[in-house]
């Protein structure tokens, strides 16, 4: 701890904190234009200058740590003059045409110009001809750019795309794509969010509304299990029916949170609903006569509670294979760990200096995990090991060791990894005997991972103090997932690793905690409840009864951080809800959120009413949304099972994996890929399957047959193709093991 003063007041800073960070924590205001809490200091605006009693000149508080006994002055006539002149220089290079700028009303430059009373201009400069760039979802106007570098820092240090850089040239300096004329990135839009002026804007939102016309609705992203905080910005419009809210854009608290392209641009999934009594009656009849309900995890905890209530009242079975697989995995995990959850979190990943990632394609499954890995790599120099049958091009700039294993061999890989990480741990005789008995030669040969790879991992992580093992959704539906779970729990129980298990869907964890799920054996009279999803309109059975989506509901989700997070209504819904159906069947409740404080205490929930859940981050970045689940102690009586013979996947193999840009409609890298259902594969895959780029093919899966267009993708290697799953009903992506053997038949060419 470092003791110093600000304006004569005592302040305490932690080692490694800057003067600016310590000032903010202590409640002192220092103006900034280029500073971002989550990146390294840009140090370009110089508004944060302060005086000290140990220096003659002004220093930048954003990058200078305090020393013991230092006296800092943050307000003086000299500082006021310096900051005022900086703002005058900004304004001379920035056209003040605020009436036609999308940023007007939410512009840092506009705010600071007013703050420092710049009403007239003291400087002048020759105008430069600057061409507006159109980069798909993003437009860039260099005449408005103040070269703060926020966009470059967030793209490189947090997202990991490394897509943009600064081109220096005096007054002609500007932001440019790093590797080509076109912007080659994942279009997360975080550069738009952090831009303090109107230089980077959303091409879809531009000129559609003014900031002050929009109402901000805090919510939780519905696209994956990360539970990212976002704000729906809506405006009511009038038509022949009446006033109706419309979402114009999604924003985020960019100082402390980060959104992917799905969260920022994939918000248009509200459904229209009317109260058709005849269809409602049919739905009641369908539920009354049903033997089971099949549903996805794109529902709130409250809806899951209602489904569990219907099961108990009507004697129904509940089918959700994706959530049941997670439930089974975590049950096996708890049999070793003695806890209902895992010990890690996204914050743990961000703070790690050693990360092992296994069994998932996180760039599309859960981009927040990718961003946490990138932050750890860029800010802490973390060693990142990525273990998967397919290399991910988007992770190449942060991964320090890629370990390619054979499809289906996850049990052998995790067993060898656990033995490597547990070396030297104080194990019981039984556990030690298990690892001693492993046939390392057989496992390494079948996994196609040499013992030198595991030795390299051991060496890389020997000095790491904060370590995380991230387990993806590939293993949740593996036939040996229970033993894999027990092996992972051993790692967390006996080493310094914390473990994070990452299901793909928004509320898989909540559903798995609330619902008693049954094995889906099909059968007659199974009705489908797929409401709240952002893939398809929900319905009950074959009844034409739309149900509200997740941006039309109040309720809660459980994130991979084990936080119970609230979401709110952005777009109104005029039809029936699941609560209406349940009330008609005897589960009486006025509102769906009346179930929020009734969520099961035995599973770690708290008896907190929905209206008492927080929605925002504090100014210092503490997440005050909702609450954390309590960790429940359980009996740790599980034992490791002998490793089974590892399977072989020969012939044509595909991997179910949605495109990174599936929701934001544009990508320079893959052109029309997100607009059509395609199967992407390497040249080796095409040769083995005897197909060519553009061929129309029939793909015979074990559970269905689909027609696709084959797209040759030069970034892929090996003989595995990627097939999107966003057009598959219910859980789709995670109902089965994500690698499958398929038969491929060429049907013709699109050309």
Q: What secondary structure does DSSP assign to 167-180, as a single string?
A: E--GGG-EEEESSS
425 has pLDDT over 80: yes
Question: 12-21: which pairs have CB atoms within 8 A and are 24 or more residues apart?
Answer: 13/65, 13/66, 16/65, 17/65, 17/66, 18/61, 18/62, 18/63, 18/64, 18/65, 18/66, 19/50, 19/59, 19/61, 19/64, 19/65, 19/66, 19/72, 20/48, 20/61, 20/62
pLDDT of residue 535: 32
Q: Which H or E run contains 111?
A: helix 108-115
Give SS3 for 6.
strand
For residue 388, pLDDT beyond 60 = yes
- Report d(CA 303, CA 579) in Å as an integer: 8
Has residue 377 got a pLDDT over 50? Answer: yes
In this prediction, residues 124-147 reach a mean pLDDT of 89
pLDDT one-digit tens code per residue, 95-104: 777 888 889 9
Residue 532 has pLDDT above 50, yes or no: no
- 77 contacts: CB under 8 Å, gap ≥ 6: none
Task: For residue 272, count other CB atoms closer than 10 A to its CB.
Answer: 11
Task: Band the pLDDT of 666: cuts 50, 70, 90.
Answer: very low
Tell me how far apart the alpha carbons of residues 372 and 352 are, in angstroms, rounded to a whole number: 9
Query: Is the pLDDT at 483 greater than 60, yes or no?
Result: yes
pLDDT tens-digit profile of 3-26?
A: 999 999 999 999 999 999 999 999
Give 71-87 pLDDT, tens digit per residue: 999 999 999 999 999 99
**pLDDT at 705 (0 to 100):** 86
Domain ranges of the chain: 2-75, 90-202, 324-501, 653-749
Q: How far apart are CA 695 and CA 748, in angstroms?
A: 6
Cα–Cα distance for residue pair 518/290, rounded to 1 Å? 15
Q: Report d(CA 221, CA 266) in Å as an integer.
A: 10
Please say if the pLDDT value at position 631 is more than 70.
Answer: yes
Q: Report percent pLDDT > 70 for the chain.
A: 94
Which structure tokens are listed for 720? 């595995």
Mean pLDDT of 537-563: 83
Residue 106: band (very low, low, confident or very high) from pLDDT cuts 50, 70, 90: very high
Give the CA radius of gyration of the chain: 27
Q: Is 563 helix (H, G, I), strand (E, B) or coil?
A: strand
The CB-based long-range contact list for 374-380 (8 Å cut-off, 24+ gap) reads 374/157, 374/158, 374/159, 374/160, 374/398, 375/38, 375/157, 375/158, 375/350, 376/349, 376/350, 376/351, 376/352, 377/160, 378/156, 378/157, 378/158, 378/160, 379/40, 379/157, 380/351, 380/352, 380/353
Tell me the sheet residues that pair with 515: none
141 contact partners, CB below 8 Å, separation of at least 6? 130, 132, 133, 198, 199, 201
Which pLDDT does position 43 carry in this prediction?
92
Dihedral-angle region of residue 150 (phi above 0 means left; psi in -120 to 50 means alpha; beta otherwise): alpha
The DSSP string of 223-278 is: SSTT--EEEEEEEEEE-SS-EEEEEEEEE--TTT----HHHHH-----------HH
Task: Name which residue leads in pLDDT, 169 or 635.
Answer: 635
Chain CA centroid to CA 481, Å? 24
Rounded Cα distance between 63 and 624, Å, is 28
Biggest distance spanned by C-alpha atoms of the chain: 83
Render pLDDT for 227-237 as a digit per residue (tens, 0 to 9): 999 999 999 87
pLDDT in tens, 493-509: 999 999 999 998 999 99
pLDDT band at 528 (very low <50, low <70, confident <90, very high): confident
Mean pLDDT computed over 426-435: 94
Lowest mean pLDDT among 376-385, 478-487, 543-552: 543-552
**Phi, psi at residue 538, to the nearest 5°?**
-80, 155
Do 574 and 275 meet the contact criterion of CB atoms below 8 Å apart?
A: yes
pLDDT digits (tens, 9 = 90+) for 236-276: 876 555 567 899 999 999 999 999 999 999 998 888 888 98
User: Comparing 51-55, 282-286, 343-347, 357-361, which segment has the lowest mean pLDDT?
Assistant: 282-286
Q: Which CATH number fits domain 90-202: 3.30.70.20, 2.20.25.90, 3.40.50.720, 3.30.530.20?
A: 3.30.70.20
- Measured CA to CA in angstroms, residue 441 lies from 401, 422, 432, 464 at distances of 22, 19, 18, 28
Percent of the chain with pLDDT over 90: 73
The answer to whether residue 751 scores a pLDDT higher than 60 is: no
Tell whether the model's pLDDT for residue 478 goes beyond 90.
yes
**Predicted local distance difference test score (pLDDT) of residue 354:** 96
471 CB-contact burial (10 Å; exposed 0-12 / middle 13-18 / buried 19+): buried
What's the pLDDT score for residue 669?
40
Q: How many CB atoms lie within 10 A of CB 269?
A: 21
The reported pLDDT for the residue numbered 749 is: 62
For the chain, the straight-line distance linking the first and the last C-alpha, in angstroms and rounded, comes to: 68
Cα 569 to the chain's mean position, in Å?
A: 21
pLDDT at 93: 76
In sequence order, the 6+-apart residues with CB closer than 8 A to the CB of 214 are 233, 234, 235, 248, 249
Joined tokens for residue 360: 């998932």
DSSP state of 357: E
Distance between CA 688 and CA 184 in Å, rounded? Answer: 30
CA–CA gap between residue 736 and residue 124 (Å, rounded): 65
CB 256 within 8 A of CB 617: yes
pTM assigned to the model = 0.93
Residues shown for the chain: 751
CA distance linking residue 426 with residue 428, whole number of Å: 7
Task: Evaluate whether the domain defined by 653-749 bears CATH number 2.40.37.10.
Answer: no
Encode pLDDT of 41-54 as tens digits: 999 999 999 999 99
**Integer Cα distance of 506 and 553 in angstroms:** 14
What confidence score (pLDDT) does residue 531 get?
Answer: 52
CB 275 within 8 A of CB 575: yes
DSSP letter at 67? -
CATH class of 2-75: alpha beta
Q: What is the mean pLDDT of residues 699-707?
A: 84
Dist. CA 243–CA 235, nearest whole Å: 10
The predicted structure's pLDDT at residue 726: 65
**pLDDT for the residue numbered 616:** 84
- pLDDT tens figures, 587-598: 999 999 999 999
Mean pLDDT in residue range 539-567: 88
* Of 270, 265, 235, nearest in space to 251 by CA: 265
Amino acid 703: pLDDT: 77
Q: What contacts 271, CB < 8 A, 6 or more positions away?
A: 537, 538, 546, 547, 548, 549, 552, 573
- Tell me which architecture the domain covering 324-501 has in CATH: 3-Layer(aba) Sandwich (3.40)
Q: What is the mean pLDDT of the chain?
A: 90
Closest CA to 207 of 149, 248, 255, 175: 248
pLDDT of residue 534 exceeding 60: no
Angstrom distance (rounded) from CA 373 to CA 394: 12
Q: How far is CA 323 from CA 26, 297, 510, 562, 705, in A?
A: 44, 7, 9, 15, 24
Q: Which residues pair with 49 in a beta bridge?
A: 60
pLDDT surpassing 80 at residue 565: yes
Dihedral over alpha carbons 409, 413, 415, 417 (to 10 degrees):
-170
Is the pLDDT reported for residue 670 higher than 50? no
């Amino acid at each position: 701890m470092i003791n110093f003063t600000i304006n004569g007041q005592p302040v305490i800073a932690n080692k490694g904190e800057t003067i600016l960070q310590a000032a903010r924590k202590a409640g002192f205001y220092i103006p900034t234009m280029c500073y971002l809490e989550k990146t390294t200091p840009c140090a370009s605006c110089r508004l944060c200058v302060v005086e000290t009693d140990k220096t003659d000149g002004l220093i930048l508080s954003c990058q200078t740590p305090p020393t013991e006994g230092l006296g800092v002055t943050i307000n003086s006539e000299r500082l006021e003059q310096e900051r005022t002149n900086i703002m005058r220089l900004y304004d001379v290079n920035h056209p003040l045409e605020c009436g036609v700028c999308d940023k007007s009303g939410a512009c840092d430059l506009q705010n600071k110009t007013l703050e420092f009373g710049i009403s007239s201009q003291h400087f002048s400069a020759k105008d430069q001809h600057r061409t507006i760039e159109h980069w798909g979802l993003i437009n860039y106007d260099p005449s408005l750019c103040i070269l703060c570098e926020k966009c470059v820092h967030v793209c490189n240090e947090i997202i990991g795309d490394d897509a943009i850089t600064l081109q220096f040239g005096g007054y002609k300096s500007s932001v440019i794509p790093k590797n080509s004329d076109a912007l080659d990135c994942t279009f997360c839009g975080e550069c738009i969010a952090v831009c303090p002026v109107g230089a980077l804007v959303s091409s879809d939102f531009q000129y559609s509304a003014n900031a002050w016309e929009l109402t901000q609705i805090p919510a939780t992203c519905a696209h994956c299990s990360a539970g990212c905080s976002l704000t729906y910005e809506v405006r009511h419009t009038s038509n022949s029916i009446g006033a109706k809210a419309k979402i114009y854009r999604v924003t985020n608290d960019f100082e402390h949170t980060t959104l992917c392209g799905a969260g920022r641009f994939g918000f248009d999934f509200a459904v229209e609903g009317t109260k058709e009594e005849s269809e409602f009656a049919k739905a009641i009849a369908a539920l009354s006569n049903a033997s089971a309900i099949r549903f996805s995890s794109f529902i709130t905890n409250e809806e899951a509670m209602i489904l569990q209530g219907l099961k108990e009242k009507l004697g129904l079975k509940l089918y959700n294979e994706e959530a049941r697989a997670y439930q089974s995995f975590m049950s096996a995990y708890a049999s070793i760990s003695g806890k209902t959850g895992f010990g890690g979190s996204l914050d743990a990943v961000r703070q790690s200096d050693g990360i092992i990632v296994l069994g998932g394609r996180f760039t599309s499954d859960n981009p927040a995990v990718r961003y946490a890995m990138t932050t750890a790599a860029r800010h802490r120099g973390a060693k990142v090991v990525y273990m998967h049958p397919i290399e991910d091009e988007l992770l190449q700039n942060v991964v320090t060791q890629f370990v390619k294993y054979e499809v289906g061999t996850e049990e052998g890989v995790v067993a060898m990894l656990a033995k490597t990480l547990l070396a030297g741990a104080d194990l019981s005789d039984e556990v030690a005997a298990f690892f001693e008995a492993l046939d390392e030669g057989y496992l390494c040969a079948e996994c196609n991972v040499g013992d030198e790879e595991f030795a390299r991992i051991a060496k890389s992580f020997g000095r790491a103090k904060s370590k995380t093992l991230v387990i993806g959704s590939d293993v949740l539906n593996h036939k040996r997932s229970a033993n894999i779970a027990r092996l992972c729990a051993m790692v967390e129980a006996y080493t310094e690793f914390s473990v994070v298990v990452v299901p793909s869907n928004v509320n898989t964890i909540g559903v798995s905690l609330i619902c008693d799920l049954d094995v889906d054996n099909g059968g007659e009279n199974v009705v489908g409840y797929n409401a709240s999803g952002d893939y398809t309109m929900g319905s009950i059975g074959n009844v034409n009864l739309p149900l509200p989506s997740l941006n039309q509901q109040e309720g809660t989700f459980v994130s991979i951080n084990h936080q119970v997070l609230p979401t709110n209504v952005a777009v109104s819904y005029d039809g029936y809800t699941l609560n209406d159906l349940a009330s008609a069947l005897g589960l009486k409740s006025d509102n769906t959120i009346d179930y929020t404080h009734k969520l099961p205490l035995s599973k770690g929930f708290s008896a907190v009413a929905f209206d008492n859940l927080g929605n925002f981050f504090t100014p210092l970045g503490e997440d005050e949304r909702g609450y954390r689940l309590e960790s429940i102690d359980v009996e740790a009586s599980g034992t490791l099972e002998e490793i089974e013979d590892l399977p072989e996947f020969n012939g044509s193999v595909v991997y179910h994996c949605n495109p990174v840009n599936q929701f934001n409609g544009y990508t320079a890298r893959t052109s029309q890929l997100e607009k059509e259902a395609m199967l992407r594969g390497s040249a080796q895959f095409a040769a083995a399957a005897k197909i060519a780029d553009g061929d129309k093919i029939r793909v015979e899966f074990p559970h269905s047959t689909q027609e696709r267009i084959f797209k040759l993708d030069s970034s892929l290697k090996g003989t595995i193709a990627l097939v999107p799953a966003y057009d598959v009903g219910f859980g789709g992506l995670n109902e089965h093991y994500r690698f499958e053997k398929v038969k491929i038949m060429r049907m013709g060419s699109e050309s």
